[in-house]
Structure 1
Amino acid sequence: MSSPRRVMKRLRPAALILALALGMGATGAWAQVPDGADEPAALRPEYPAQELTGQILYQMMLAEISGARGYGRQATQSYIDLARRTRDPRIARRAAEMAVIGRQAELLTEAAQVWLDLEPTSVQAQQLAAGAVLDDKRARDVQEQLAKALARQGDRIGTALLALNRGLAQISDKAQIRRLVEALTEPYLKLPEAHFARANAAFVAGDQDGALAALEEALKLNPDWEQAVVLKAQMLQPTRPALAQQTLAAYLERHPEARDPRLVLGRLLVADRQFPQARQQFERALSYAPEDREILHAAGLLAMQQGDLKLAEAHLRKLLQLGYADADTVHIYLGQIAEASKRPADALAEYRDVKGGEQFFPAQERIAQLLVNMGRLPEARQHLQALAARGGVEQVRYVLAEASLLRDNQQQAEAVAVLERALADAPESPELLYESALMAEREGRLEVMEGRLRKLIALKPEHAHAYNALGYSLAERGLRLEEAEGLIRQGLELAPKDPFIMDSLGWVQYRRGDLNGALASLQAAYTLRADPEIAAHLGEVLWKLERKDEARQLWQQALKANPGHEVLQDVIRKFKP
């Protein structure tokens, strides 16, 4: 049987699509201060002719530096004091922004009120002050203030109505927000924006049906309102995905060049795993906007996922030419495409173009592996050793990568030596203790394995896989089975949905003769993850329960998906010579 360590596979392109191309976005619990550009021109205040004196500049810089260093409360208070002294609403606005960013409810109340005193016609100031007032149980004052602000908007009332929910988003009582929005929009129900505001408030309050009904009213008044159509589709998606897609498709028949509805339709199709149809939508969008970076990114990933590597590469290269912000991730994709196209030198070049961030380590791992594949193991080791010599938080990861390369290339003794040298320098490194324990287990040095895993547990009692590794190793050898099960159950308490620890529990139950318990644990594990090793264990339990046809079928399905898997082949040979 195999070691207790389970190595997670790299994400396949489909998973990357779901992670990166979906990008729906989410609304935070605290609203950002809306842009003042939405204020009606006639109502914008005459800002004071403020001279930027040395003292004012110094206090503003001090506040900004305090905020950047994590002293948000001090920064906000400094801006509030400066706004009171200068009577400048722009400084009061910055004070409110600081309070929102720092989630300082008390200071937000104060800052919003100062801003409102200095700029009484500002819808944004009204909204923030209203939200702060609501926290003080003064709902009637809120309604009165906002009603007055809306009444002043004139022909900009639609914009003001759309800003209602955004301005009140920091209020925790969403039902109260809905009541407030419904009361405030009552005089404006001939406007589609009023119904849109009601839809938003209903949705946030958890009433999806009410939200959809309000959107239908908005669309009756303005059937071609893109924003309302998109919101309707997004609300339908969780429960009625087909209808969500139909809603957008019908709109696009009338407005084929509409960007956002087509992008949302593409993302909904991705979420529904309809990748070819999603790709069609992004390619169609690209025909209307060939230099749109968001569309290029999604179209490139979908082409990659479907194996159209030539087109995927073209899209991604164009993305780089257009100055895409996350260039490192694009280089990772281009490296994967080059590898799949049997162009290792090109792949190396792409990975070497990754300059930093979270993609840097995966790129260096791929560089080392490519060098090994090209017969250049010493060069691969030198590459990883040079990176480890830089020190820092990534040092241990490069040591582990080197040891893994050596182990995978049948240089077990050298892999052990690499880990032992690193462990001598960092004897309490959890990663080195865990990896060196597993290496010792492979060599049959069980006392070393157990000693290091117990040290790791003492250092990090929450390390679920340390308990699992020790318990599984004991169970695999038929040693101290009661203790082994106890260790595995401790790991499972820490990570109750981990399929590999559930597999270990099933295996120790099997070793203790509890076939029915083992079957339940292994079936639950296999449902969460169709791993070939779990399939091997589950099949063995089924065989022992005289359910041999089910065992054979399971093994064959797992072998088809994982040809050449050693553990799976061993168990099949054991029961089917």
Structure 2
Amino acid sequence: MRHFTAAATLMLGLAACAQAPLRPAAGPAPAAAQPLARMTVVTPDEDHDLLAQLMAGEMALGRSDLQAAELHYGKAMALSDDPTVAERATMLAIATHDDAAAGRALDRWQALGAQPAAMAQARAQLALNRGDTSEAQRQLEILTKSHDKNAWRGFGQVLLTARDQAQAGQLLEALATPQRLPADPQAWLAMSELGDKLGRHAYAQRVADAALARFRNDAEVFAWAAQMKARNGDTKGARVLLQQAIAKAPDNVHLRLVYASMLSEAGDYAAAAKLLDHGPQSADTYQLRAALAARSNDTKALAALYRQLQQAGPDVREQNAFLLGQLAEMQHRDTEALSWYGQVGDDDPHAFDADLRSAVLLQAQGKSAEAHELLGQMQLDYLDQPVQLRQAWQLDAELYMRELRYVQAVNAFTRALQVVPNDPGLLYGRGLAYAEVGQIDLAVKDFRSLLKLKPDDIDASNALGYTLADANRDLPEAEQLVAKARAARPNDPAIADSWGWVQYRLGHLDQAVQALRGAWQAGKAADIGVHLGEVLWRQGDRQDAQRVFDEVRKIDPHNTNLQSALKRLHP
């Protein structure tokens, strides 16, 4: 802004000069010119403009261009006496592995009064970048002996960002020993966890055991030691430690969640639920309680949890709006579920999922136009997020499929495939939609493309085989494809239906009836019943066929496949 201010001042001065007469008029002497009118403002070029370099550096960081950020901060460092600028220049040079620039920045930072601990941390990182283990160890010793309150955190950061994990693990075991670690349980836990992350599992276990012996009243120490035991297969020992931890801190939500998760993994859902039902609650405890009740199909527990959350304070309800929507859905309270999903905030991590579920519920309530309008808005809102965009398009297409609006479904699947080409799920969906609108060649093309991507995809094999059989073409290939699917999933009614339909097309009516009757009895799906009825009719068993058709009408009075079959059978 100072450039604009200076320019404005100069313009005022020039305007004053322009208004003065060329020759002084007779009379009193004119007033002396204002000092600003004679002022000359020197504007630095960009390379020597500190503010410009800082702004350029921050803009480069905003677009994750570390190389450019390092260049600008290197220039800014030379123009500034602020040690924080030199520190930023140092960190960027280290991050980009520009050792020469990092050395210069370190010297500048030290000259401007850097703290010894911070300097040691930076020099250790630089030494690790260079592969100089002995210098890195020397600097890390300086850091950990500095008595800086963040010394061990800095130590961990250096090793965590090291390119050579073996080198980092070696330094960890050499320096972070129980004899050298401070009287802070969090530091011990951090070093044990770091050792586990670096593959030094024996070291991690030793530090965890030593922490357990030293900090007998710290519940978090017990919890970490329990996790280590569980990871090593000692589930019984882990449970004992967690029980002791919870006894020391019964209101610790994190501990209860860890123990409940362990009980859940072991299949003891009742004990896990009992542990979480009492004591302080959080969004995570509510979520796990709901998951446990759903897994156990405990409708009473789901209803009780829903009532509890409904009666909680406004803040709790707002924080758990998505969970309340899920619980309402599980109890078939779709209108209430829609209301809860509508209360999920835009900044909530479940906002996208809440909108997806809202679209599904709207369509189920017969509000298809509103459902597709919502999904259309989501496609605009998430235009720059391919994963979410794909999901919105896929759901849009699937809802069109449910509504038997297959042309719109094809269009939606096609838009999604433009974002994620060759996506197996989308190719499968579009293939089904193409088959429904009678574009068999395009359906076959999508299924074949899917099988090239995933040769062992059972659903794709079944879909392609059925589509070929339904079109009465390439029957030997169709039989081979469905046989492959049938071998993989012999008890799948949909695949048995395909097999029966292939046999019907091949003229093997007895085999067709056997397969279709088994599939019909297994699931009573309307389309399977239509196939069975048609084959029975062709076989001459019209009374049995009519009985099956009547059952199909009860299941799905408006089934289009039944209507088509009856037209074929009653021309």
TM-score scaled by length of structure 2: 0.62
Q: Which amino acid aligns with 1:167?
A: V
Show the counterpart of 2:255. 261
Alpha carbons of structure 1 residues 86 and 380: separation in structure 2 relative to 1, 3 Å: closer
Q: Which residue of 1 aligns with 2:140?
A: 146
| Cα 1:300/1:88, change in 2 over 3 Å | farther
Is it true that 1:212 corresponds to 2:205 in the alignment?
A: yes
Residue from 83, 88, 94 that aligns with 1:89: 83
What residue number does 1:509 align with?
Answer: 484
Q: Is the 8 A contact 1:83 1:92 kept in 2?
A: yes
Give the deviation of 1:147 after TM superposition.
1.9
- The alpha-carbon deviation at position 461 of structure 1 amounts to 10
Q: Match for residue 326 of structure 2? A: 336
- Give the equivalent residue in structure 1 for 2:98: 106
Of 60, 65, 76, which residue of structure 1 is paired with 2:70?
A: 76
Q: Is the 8 A contact 2:393 2:416 kept in 1?
A: no
CA contact 1:66–1:72 (8 Å) conserved in 2:
yes
Distance in 1 (alpha carbons) for counterparts of 2:131 and 2:413: 59
CA contact (8 A) 1:351 1:367 kept: yes
For 2:156 and 2:411, locate their aligned partners in 1 and report how far apart those are by CA, in whole Å.
Answer: 59
**Amino acid paired to 1:262:** R
Given that 2:256 and 2:275 are in contact with CA atoms closer than 8 Å, whether structure 1 keeps it comes out as yes
2:123 corresponds in structure 1 to 129
How many residue pairs align between the two structures?
454
Secondary structure of 1:181's partner? helix
TM superposition shift of 1:419: 4.0
Q: Cα distance, 1:141 vs. partner?
A: 1.3
1:131-530 to structure 2, matched below 5 A, reads 131-153=125-147, 160-161=151-152, 163-185=154-176, 188-189=179-180, 199-200=192-193, 202-238=195-231, 239-286=233-280, 292-295=282-285, 298-299=288-289, 302=292, 306-307=298-299, 308-313=301-306, 321-322=314-315, 330-354=320-344, 356=346, 362-377=353-368, 380=371, 392=383, 401=395, 404-409=398-403, 412=404, 415-419=405-409, 435-442=429-436, 445-451=439-445, 457=449, 464=454, 471-476=461-466, 477=468, 480=474, 507-509=482-484, 519=487, 521-522=488-489
**Sequence identity, in percent?**
21
Q: How has the CA–CA distance of structure 1 residues 66 and 278 changed in structure 2, closer, same or farther, with 3 Å as cutoff?
A: same
Cα 1:333–1:66 shift into 2, 3 Å:
same
- Partner secondary structure for residue 98 of structure 2: helix
With over 3 angstroms needed to count, the CA separation of the structure-2 counterparts of 1:444 and 1:568, relative to structure 1, is same
Distance 1:97 1:365, change over 3 A: same
CA contact (8 A) 2:70 2:93 kept: yes
Structure 1 residues 164-214: Cα deviation after superposition (integer angstroms, max 9, x where no partner):
333321113333323323333469358666865764454234242332123
Aligned equivalent of 1:19 = none
Amino acid at match of 2:221: A
User: For 1:395 and 1:186, how far apart are their aligned partners in 2?
Assistant: 50
Is contact 1:282–1:295 with CA below 8 Å preserved after alignment? yes
Could you say which structure has the greater relative contact order, defined with CA pairs below 8 angstroms and 6 or more residues apart?
1
Show structure 1 runs of 5+ residues with no match. 1-53, 486-503, 511-517, 541-550
**Could you tell me how far 1:152 is from its partner in structure 2?**
3.2
* 1:428-464 deviation per Cα after TM superposition (whole angstroms, max 9, x unaligned): 686887544312324554234235667xx4xx99854
Name the amino acid aligned to 2:175.
Answer: L
Question: AA paired with 1:69?
Answer: R
1:109-134 Cα distance to aligned partner (Å, 9 max, x none) = 55667656655644344234313312
Give the counterpart letter for 2:155 in structure 1: L
Cα pair 1:121 1:149 within 8 Å, conserved: no
Provide, for residues 55-104 of structure 1, a one-character-per-residue CA deviation record: whole Å limited to 9, x for no partner: 5444333322221123222123323443454343323444456568xx53
Alpha-carbon shift at residue 474 of structure 1 (Å): 4.4
Give me the whole-angstrom Cα distance separating, in 2, the residues matched to 1:274 and 1:173. Answer: 42
Q: Deviations over 1:391-419 (max 9, x none)?
A: 9578886676455445435xx3xx13424
Q: Distance in 2 between matches of 1:181 and 1:226?
A: 25
Kept in 2: contact 1:92–1:112 (CA 8 A) = yes
Please name the residue that 1:67 is paired with. Answer: 61
Question: In 2 relative to 1, CA 241–262 (structure 1 residues): closer, same or farther, beyond 3 Å?
Answer: same
SS in 2 for 1:237: helix
State the distance in 2 between where 1:209 and 1:82 align.
46
8 A contact 2:76–2:85 mirrored in 1: yes
Question: By how many angstroms is 1:300 displaced?
Answer: 5.7
The answer to which of 230-239 and 311-320 deviates more is 311-320
Q: Give the TM-score normalised by the residue count of structure 1.
A: 0.61
Structure 1 or 2, whichever has the larger Rg, is 2
Instruction: Name which of structure 1's ranges 436-445 and 461-470 shifts more when overlaid on structure 2.
Output: 461-470
SS of residue paired to 1:256: coil
Cα 1:283/1:360, change in 2 over 3 Å: closer
Amino acid at match of 1:370: L
Letter in 1 for 2:484: Q
Distance 1:123 1:322, change over 3 A: farther
CA contact (8 A) 1:79 1:91 kept: yes
Separation in 1, partners of 2:244, 2:500: 49
* SS of structure 2 residue aligned to 1:268: helix
Q: Is residue 120–residue 126 contact of structure 1 (8 Å, CA) maintained in 2?
A: no
Aligned partner of 2:11 in structure 1 is: none
Structure 2 CA distance, aligned partners of 1:427 and 1:196?
47
Which amino acid in 2 is paired with 1:86? S
Structure 2, gaps ≥5 residues long: 1-47, 502-513, 536-543, 545-571
CA RMSD of aligned residues (A): 5.1
Return closer, same or farther for 1:316/1:125 CA change in 2, 3 Å cut-off.
farther
- Residues 82 and 298 of structure 1: is their aligned pair in 2 closer, same or farther, counting only changes over 3 Å? farther
CA distance in 1 between partners of 2:211 and 2:330 (Å) = 50
